[in-house]
Amino acid sequence: MTSQAAPNTAQHKARSVALPPHILKRNQERVAFDAEKIVSAILAAGRASGEFEHDEARLLTSQVLKVIRHRFGNSTPHIEQIQDVVEQVLISSNHYLSARAYIVYREQHGRLRQSRRTLIDVSTAMDEYLEQRDWRVNANANQDWARRWRVAGIWALPPACIPPAAVHHGCNEYCRNSTGSASMSKHRLPTTRI
């Protein structure tokens, strides 16, 4: 009788391990665990590949839930970990086309999330630029001078940027005259066209 009591106790413990009450989303928000979302994801992959319908999706979901119970118990898994389990169950059940459809779906949605983040970043940058909160607005203030000098074909500093200690020494450089003002009269740099 003791030999029968041990297996029953082990079976009872295995059954008593509950599913995680919550999962972590990608934004680290904790939400309630919903097994129906797993069913719908597996069903969508099965229908996309043409391998199975609702009944098989339910059976595969029960396998996924067993793995989740075993791996995570009452801890809180991340959504990516649950999706990895779904992939593993699809592959181990020889539903390779459905596994591929599921993996491609995950990859496409990953790119979509990245595109949304990029779009939000661009939108934020534009708002900061328009409201002049961005450091790049002030950094671009000197571009007007640079553009004028490039258009003129002269690659040199504008007169306001010439150091006050510069003196004329007979070369083709900008020089300060005796009053300290910049003079371009015969002291031009060799021109370089764009």
In the Cβ-directed half-sphere of 24, how many Cα atoms lie within 13 Å? 10
Whether 69 and 116 map to the same domain: the answer is yes
Instruction: Provide the 10 A C-beta neighbour count for residue 174.
Output: 20
Whether 109 and 185 map to the same domain: the answer is no
Whether 124 and 159 map to the same domain: the answer is no
Whether 125 and 154 map to the same domain: the answer is no
Is residue 68 situated within a structural domain? Answer: yes
Whether 114 and 153 map to the same domain: the answer is no
Is residue 41 situated within a structural domain? Answer: yes
Whether 87 and 158 map to the same domain: the answer is no
User: Are 187 and 172 contacting, i.e. CB atoms less than 8 angstroms apart?
Assistant: yes
User: Are 83 and 106 contacting, i.e. CB atoms less than 8 angstroms apart?
Assistant: yes
Whether 104 and 47 map to the same domain: the answer is yes
- Enclosing domain of residue 164: 148-194
Digit-coded pLDDT (tens) for 123-152: 777 776 666 655 555 555 556 655 665 555
User: Are 149 and 194 contacting, i.e. CB atoms less than 8 angstroms apart?
Assistant: no
Q: Which ranges constitute the DSSP H helices of 17-164?
A: 35-49, 54-72, 79-92, 96-130, 135-139, 143-151
Whether 72 and 38 map to the same domain: the answer is yes
Structurally, how many domains does the chain consist of?
A: 2
Digit-coded pLDDT (tens) for 28-71: 999 999 999 999 999 999 999 999 999 999 999 999 999 999 99
Question: What's the token pair of residue 128?
Answer: 């900061």
Instruction: Provide the 10 A C-beta neighbour count for residue 53.
Output: 11
